[in-house]
Amino acid sequence: MPNNVQRVSLEPLGEGRVMVRLAHRFGLGEDAELSRPATVDLAEVFAGWRLVGAEERGLAGTIPRDEVLQRRVAWSIEGEGASAVRRRVEGGSPTEVTLGPLQIRTFHLEVASPEVYL
């Protein structure tokens, strides 16, 4: 995992499912290198296990991220149109996620132990 990202939590959700929360440790401009966005491959977070599926959730992990975005309030400033701030940057593969400065992202992962697919 990159030096500027830490695993904040790892919780079992049931058979073959876990919730993992990743956080970028640095603020914007706090460090010339470590404040940059960092990409993490979720498949590498569980070395020795096979990632079967992943779903991004809201910060608490209770609802899908898409639902969080639908509920987001669009603020409008007098004289300007409505806008929604979006700080989402994806990585290059389906299992890669990118975190910006001070960003926290929560995922429900479905994993299979090595014995299942050997």
Residue 80: partners with Cβ closer than 8 Å, 6 or more residues away: none
Report helix, strand or coil for 9: strand
Judge whether 5 and 39 are in contact, CB under 8 Å. no
Whole-number pLDDT of residue 62: 67
For residue 67, what are its two tokens? 């639902």
Is residue 47 pLDDT above 80, yes or no? no
Is residue 40 pLDDT above 70, yes or no? yes
- CATH of residue 76's domain is 2.60.40.1360
pLDDT digits (tens, 9 = 90+) for 55-112: 888 877 767 777 766 666 677 777 665 444 444 434 456 789 999 999 999 999 988 8
Judge whether 21 and 61 are in contact, CB under 8 Å. yes
| Region for residue 102 given its phi and psi (left: phi exceeds 0; alpha: psi -120 to 50; beta: otherwise) | left
Whole-number pLDDT of residue 11: 92
Look at residues 60, 56, 68 and name the one whose alpha carbon lies nearest to residue 108.
Answer: 56
The answer to whether residue 83 is domain-embedded is yes
Report helix, strand or coil for 104: strand
Number of neighbours of residue 19 by Cβ within 10 angstroms: 17
Whole-number pLDDT of residue 68: 66
Note down the domain range covering 28: 5-113
The answer to whether residue 118 is domain-embedded is no
Please compute the mean of the pLDDT values over residues 38-49 and round it to a whole number: 85
**What is the total count of domains within the chain?**
1
Whole-number pLDDT of residue 57: 86
Please compute the mean of the pLDDT values over residues 37-45 and round it to a whole number: 90
